[in-house]
Chain A
Amino acid sequence: MAINKFEVGERIVVKIKDKSYEGVVMPSPLKAKDYLIIKLNSGYNLGIKLSPEVRIEKIGMATKPKAQEIKPPINPKLPKISIIATGGTITSKVEYTTGAVEPLINPEELLLATPELLDVVNISQILSPFSIFSEDMTWVEWQKIAELVAKELNKKDISGVLVTHGTDTLHYTSAALSFMLKNLGKPVALVGGQRSSDRGSFDGAQNLICAGHYLKSNLAEVAIVMHATTNDDFCYAIRGTNVRKMHTSRRDTFRPINELPLAKISPSGEFEILNKNYKSRSEGEVLADTKFEPNVALLKYFPGASPDILNFFVEKKYKGIIIEATGLGHVSTNPKQPRNWLGAIKKAIDEGLFIGFVPQCIYGRLDPYVYSTGRILLDAGVTYLGSMLAETALVKLGWVLGHTKKLEEAKSMMLTNIAGELIDKISPNSFLY
């Protein structure tokens, strides 16, 4: 049809019978393939159904904005950081003429949206190994990020590394980096945005600025640094293994689970330690220990769930399963219930799979000794992972099984605290913090 003859950005006049509209051709969304979308001079877009009656005249090209070259200025008084941009809302922009959301071509454009970051730190470089949505991340990307972070951190003049990332799976990546960065002696901040940078209410700016302050601090921890409240007032830095996205859309979506945030940070640089359980900066080389077994899975038990679900993973030769168990750590073991899981669990463990339980309550700790069900499952060989978050447990299991295939050794590693994921003391004020 006629649309094929006209390119996005061209200025045209569309005539249909006695009507006539002048505007710029916009990309047509998939659902509107038979329509021509144009932007009128008033700025409004409208769509016209293409038919033989529609006449189109080209009258010129729309002017395209030139890509800007950005060279971050250097302030010698400020410490240096590196940025690793991986994609997501925080590093996307809206092409205002077309409305298309696109990843930043130059990651440096990040600084156009948040120039204040340059008041806090110097940017050594911005690396962009890939630009993908959060949901497209896999262990391969975690390994790549970990290697890049380690490489940057091992540069003498680098104070810390900032990773920008989509928010949906940010807490999986923060857990992965927590386990993969061995002998971490400098801070690593993961940052995302819940509102895109095309709008005045872009939340990522404050997150980036607060992350800049975090990277100057003494905390040698992997942390997610994002809005603490719905206000634009301060951020929390939350340990990478005990943090979760708890709301689909709010700015303050990332919450600490079972412990307090490490620190409260304001964009102006006020810095308050809230949780004294942290590692301080230290000398020495960081190692990216990224071996990972991808054949691990996370299941959620629910009333009436069939044990066939578990059997499937055994057949598919999975190496380990994390199960979100009910309450203090239960799945049905009652022999009178045709869908009890005891047989399937025993069989899986016999086949050499690691079976670990985590709380589907999200908050709190499992305890197999309170009810007989728990004791039966413990005897069957289930590993109770205390208060470990399901997502953290899954990532840790993949990492552990990347290092050993021996069930007993894997069990012992899963129960050894590596990056703050096993919590001895749950403070009363950490619930719904």
Chain B
Amino acid sequence: MAEEKEKINYGEIGLRAGLEVHQQLATHKLFCSCPSLVRQDEPHFKVVRELRPLAGELGAIDPAAIFERKKKKHYVYEGYNDSTCLVELDEEPPHEINPEALKTALIVAKLLHCEFPDVLQVMRKTVIDGSNTSGFQRTLLIGLNGYLETSFGKVGIQTVVLEEDAARRIAEDSMSVTFRLDRLGIPLIEIATAPDCKSPEQVKEVAEKLGALLRATGKAARGIGTIRQDLNISIKGHPRIELKGVQELPHMTKVVELEVKRQLDAIKHKEKLEPHVRAILPDLSSKYLRPMPGSARLYPETDIPLIFLDKKELEGLELPKMPEEIKKELSELGLSKDLVEQMASSPKLPMFFEFVKTYKNLNPNLIATTILVIPKEVKRKLQLPEFELDENILDRLFIGLSGGDKLVPAIVKEAIPEIAEAIAKEKPKSLEELYKIMARYKVLSDAELKKEIAKLRKEYSGPEEKFLGFAIGKLRGKADPQKIMALLKQN
């Protein structure tokens, strides 16, 4: 099937595709202060529970329903005494909503041009597959009716929702399902787009842009499983299909293409067409998973107070720069292409901008190199597991590079690699110890430099035109080569 190379005209077949992106946040949990820590070590305890169909759902009292309940599986929840608490165990009411997660969700909704209600209300979404100890997932509508700009046109954003992640499914047998509580309660931002994408390329662009936007908040969790994408796809004559779990962005277009082909085939072979959910397989094709779920029951979470949004605070919300903007800015500062890429995705980016602002006399490239490149080189050379120059040390190095002051010895940029290496080896415990290291590389005063050059002249016996190179090499890290050149010219 994949061999067929006929081009599909997506406009003609009426492709409508939308995305639902779930991004975990790297903050503590949404309704308790437990860390958002997914663990591989042995859990400390296990709790066994049952979940019941809800009151009033059964209608009349039916012996068959009672029988159904009896053969129901029970749920085993594994937890850790130091990173899960009574909230995940459904043994304590939720705490107040994590303000950092809420702020991040508001920022995301604002970046997506959403409308904001005046009052937000946390809801309980009924879930009885065991993945939530309480029998429901707490979820909060943050913003709605926004849009995302793409190169193919605007894509509507239906909702931005903040919710708790479910417990992690570990194992299942005929009697029970085992879940781990570490993931339960991690804040998730869910962005649902309208089915406005009209080509596989547009779907991919939306996924990329949403991913970049979430990462730009600086609060998105990173690593496997921290972002999950679902697709919904339909073409003219075929009902909506939901595709669960697109893992990697580069596969996005392929997944859409294959699903469109599948839908075209289904129409051609006059199969019974029903909306349903499909799971994506490793070869990027998909298989039937389950019928489309009915709309889940949502009702208010009465244990959590209403959240009144302050419109002024919303307006004042500082929005992060988008990656393209940041890269443009870094290029304009004169950073090399390689450094732009590295710095744009580095957690040290805010620090870099601070230093550029403070040390206007220094070349931003020098600042970026000192922050990012030098420590990496030292780490590699000395084969250290970790090495970084912290903010304090960097600040003193930049003072030194700017000519020093009463305390900080003046240095030249050529000395930085050696100073960094000395820092890695000697691990200065105070600023005084740092200054002592820097002092060994102190820049020579003009008088000292003249003296040194005179000394070198006596040692030197080679051709005159090569003396400059010799002197620069000998005085490396102790004097600015430009200065040496100038002095030699004077003579």
Partner of A197 from B55, B117, B302 at Cβ < 8 Å: B55
A232 and B49 form a contact (CB under 8 A): yes
Within 8 A of B (CB), among A34-59: 35, 37, 39-40, 42-49
Q: Is B126 an interface residue (CB 8 A)?
A: yes
Considering only CB atoms, which chain A residue lies closest to B139 in the complex?
A: A44
Q: Which of chain A's residues have a CB closer than 8 A to the CB of B127?
A: 200
A249 and B92 form a contact (CB under 8 A): yes
- In the assembled complex, the Cα of A219 lies from the Cα of B134 at a distance in Å of 34
A115 and B61 form a contact (CB under 8 A): yes
Q: Which of chain A's residues have a CB closer than 8 A to the CB of B141?
A: 40, 42, 44-46
Q: Is A201 an interface residue (CB 8 A)?
A: yes
Q: Which of chain A's residues have a CB closer than 8 A to the CB of B93?
A: 249
Within 8 A of A (CB), among B52-90: 52-56, 58-62, 65-66, 69-70, 74, 86, 89-90
Which bucket holds chain A's interface residue count?
Answer: 35 or more
B159 and A42 form a contact (CB under 8 A): yes
Within 8 A of B (CB), among A341-355: none
Partner of A198 from B54, B161, B306 at Cβ < 8 Å: B54
Considering only CB atoms, which chain B residue lies closest to A38 in the complex?
A: B117
- In the assembled complex, the Cα of A94 lies from the Cα of B209 at a distance in Å of 41
Q: Report B412 CB to chain A, min CB distance, Å.
A: 61
Q: Is A338 an interface residue (CB 8 A)?
A: no
A116 and B66 form a contact (CB under 8 A): yes
Partner of A249 from B50, B91, B120, B134 at Cβ < 8 Å: B91
Q: Report B153 CB to chain A, min CB distance, Å.
A: 20
Q: Is A309 an interface residue (CB 8 A)?
A: no
Q: Which of chain A's residues have a CB closer than 8 A to the CB of B128?
A: 200
Partner of B121 from A47, A93, A201, A251 at Cβ < 8 Å: A47
A111 and B302 form a contact (CB under 8 A): no
- In the assembled complex, the Cα of A75 lies from the Cα of B287 at a distance in Å of 47
Q: Which of chain B's residues have a CB closer than 8 A to the CB of A197?
A: 54-55
B305 and A200 form a contact (CB under 8 A): no
Q: Is B118 an interface residue (CB 8 A)?
A: yes
Considering only CB atoms, which chain B residue lies closest to A116 in the complex?
A: B66
Specify which of B65, B121, B126 lies most central, judged by the most chain A CB atoms within 10 Å of its CB: B121
A46 and B119 form a contact (CB under 8 A): yes
- In the assembled complex, the Cα of A250 lies from the Cα of B133 at a distance in Å of 13
Partner of B299 from A46, A70, A99, A195 at Cβ < 8 Å: A99
Considering only CB atoms, which chain A residue lies closest to B307 in the complex?
A: A47
Given contacts A43-B296, A45-B121, A230-B89, contact A201 B60 (CB under 8 A): no
B90 and A112 form a contact (CB under 8 A): no
Considering only CB atoms, which chain B residue lies closest to A46 in the complex?
A: B117
Considering only CB atoms, which chain B residue lies closest to A70 in the complex?
A: B61
Q: Report A52 CB to chain B, min CB distance, Å.
A: 15
Partner of A68 from B59, B121, B133, B134 at Cβ < 8 Å: B59
A231 and B299 form a contact (CB under 8 A): no
Q: Report B225 CB to chain A, min CB distance, Å.
A: 25
Q: Is A246 an interface residue (CB 8 A)?
A: no
B136 and A199 form a contact (CB under 8 A): yes
- In the assembled complex, the Cα of A396 lies from the Cα of B118 at a distance in Å of 53
Partner of B55 from A44, A109, A251 at Cβ < 8 Å: A109
Q: Which of chain B's residues have a CB closer than 8 A to the CB of A93?
A: 55-56
Q: Is B247 an interface residue (CB 8 A)?
A: no
B61 and A73 form a contact (CB under 8 A): yes
A49 and B47 form a contact (CB under 8 A): no
Partner of A199 from B66, B117, B124, B308 at Cβ < 8 Å: B124
- In the assembled complex, the Cα of A29 lies from the Cα of B122 at a distance in Å of 14
Q: Which of chain B's residues have a CB closer than 8 A to the CB of A68?
A: 56, 59-60
Partner of A96 from B69, B135, B161, B297 at Cβ < 8 Å: B297
Q: Is A133 an interface residue (CB 8 A)?
A: no
Q: Report A43 CB to chain B, min CB distance, Å.
A: 3
Q: Which of chain B's residues have a CB closer than 8 A to the CB of A73?
A: 61
B59 and A205 form a contact (CB under 8 A): no
Considering only CB atoms, which chain B residue lies closest to A247 in the complex?
A: B91
Count of chain B residues near A, Cβ 8 A: 57
Partner of B306 from A32, A116, A199 at Cβ < 8 Å: A32
A249 and B86 form a contact (CB under 8 A): yes
Q: Which of chain A's residues have a CB closer than 8 A to the CB of B92?
A: 248-250
Q: Report B95 CB to chain A, min CB distance, Å.
A: 12
- In the assembled complex, the Cα of A32 lies from the Cα of B119 at a distance in Å of 9
Q: Is B32 an interface residue (CB 8 A)?
A: no
Q: Is B123 an interface residue (CB 8 A)?
A: yes
Q: Report A433 CB to chain B, min CB distance, Å.
A: 19
Q: Which of chain B's residues have a CB closer than 8 A to the CB of A362?
A: none
Q: Report A138 CB to chain B, min CB distance, Å.
A: 26
Q: Is B298 an interface residue (CB 8 A)?
A: yes
Instruction: Annotate A76-116 by CB proximity to B: 1 below 8 A, 0 otherwise.
Output: 00000000000000000110111101000000010111011
- In the assembled complex, the Cα of A29 lies from the Cα of B304 at a distance in Å of 12
Given contacts A43-B297, A47-B117, A47-B118, contact A201 B55 (CB under 8 A): no
Partner of A35 from B48, B62, B118, B123 at Cβ < 8 Å: B118
Within 8 A of B (CB), among A106-157: 109, 111-113, 115-116, 118-119
Q: Which of chain A's residues have a CB closer than 8 A to the CB of B62?
A: 115
- In the assembled complex, the Cα of A267 lies from the Cα of B142 at a distance in Å of 42
B117 and A99 form a contact (CB under 8 A): no
- In the assembled complex, the Cα of A44 lies from the Cα of B53 at a distance in Å of 22
B299 and A201 form a contact (CB under 8 A): no
Q: Which of chain A's residues have a CB closer than 8 A to the CB of B69?
A: 115-116
Q: Is A19 an interface residue (CB 8 A)?
A: yes
Within 8 A of A (CB), among B78-120: 86, 89-93, 115, 117-120
B52 and A200 form a contact (CB under 8 A): yes
Considering only CB atoms, which chain B residue lies closest to A19 in the complex?
A: B115
B91 and A200 form a contact (CB under 8 A): no
Q: Is B430 an interface residue (CB 8 A)?
A: no
Q: Is B51 an interface residue (CB 8 A)?
A: yes
Within 8 A of B (CB), among A1-52: 19, 26, 29, 31-32, 35, 37, 39-40, 42-49
Q: Report B367 CB to chain A, min CB distance, Å.
A: 46
Q: Which of chain B's residues have a CB closer than 8 A to the CB of A119?
A: 66
Q: Is B295 an interface residue (CB 8 A)?
A: yes
Instruction: Annotate B148-173 by CB proximity to A: 1 below 8 A, 0 otherwise.
Output: 00000000000101000000000000
- In the assembled complex, the Cα of A26 lies from the Cα of B299 at a distance in Å of 11
A31 and B86 form a contact (CB under 8 A): no
B134 and A200 form a contact (CB under 8 A): yes
Within 8 A of B (CB), among A243-273: 248-251
Partner of B61 from A47, A72, A248, A249 at Cβ < 8 Å: A72
Considering only CB atoms, which chain A residue lies closest to B296 in the complex?
A: A43
Q: Is B145 an interface residue (CB 8 A)?
A: yes
Q: Is A233 an interface residue (CB 8 A)?
A: yes
Considering only CB atoms, which chain A residue lies closest to B298 in the complex?
A: A43
B56 and A109 form a contact (CB under 8 A): yes
Q: Is B300 an interface residue (CB 8 A)?
A: yes
Q: Which of chain B's residues have a CB closer than 8 A to the CB of A37?
A: 119, 121
Given contacts A46-B121, A115-B58, contact A250 B86 (CB under 8 A): yes
Instruction: Annotate A196-232 by CB proximity to B: 1 below 8 A, 0 otherwise.
Output: 0111111001100000000000000000000000111
Q: Report B147 CB to chain A, min CB distance, Å.
A: 14
Q: Which of chain B's residues have a CB closer than 8 A to the CB of A46?
A: 117-121, 141
Q: Which of chain B's residues have a CB closer than 8 A to the CB of A32?
A: 119, 306, 308
A198 and B91 form a contact (CB under 8 A): no
B90 and A201 form a contact (CB under 8 A): yes
- In the assembled complex, the Cα of A288 lies from the Cα of B147 at a distance in Å of 70
Q: Report B59 CB to chain A, min CB distance, Å.
A: 7
A35 and B119 form a contact (CB under 8 A): yes
Ordered by A's residue number, 16 sampled pairs between the chains whose C-beta atoms are within 8 Å are: A19-B145, A37-B121, A45-B300, A98-B300, A115-B61, A115-B62, A195-B90, A199-B54, A199-B124, A200-B52, A200-B53, A201-B49, A201-B51, A202-B135, A205-B52, A230-B47
Beyond the given pairs A98-B300, A198-B55, 5 more chain A to chain B contacts, judged by CB atoms under 8 angstroms and listed by A's residue number, are A37-B119, A46-B118, A47-B306, A113-B52, A115-B61
| Residues of chain B whose beta carbon lies under 8 Å from any beta carbon of chain A | 47-56, 58-62, 65-66, 69-70, 74, 86, 89-93, 115, 117-121, 123-128, 133-136, 139, 141, 145, 159, 161, 295-300, 302, 305-306, 308
Task: Identify the 3 closest CB pairs spanning chains A and B, nearest first.
Answer: A200-B135, A47-B119, A99-B300
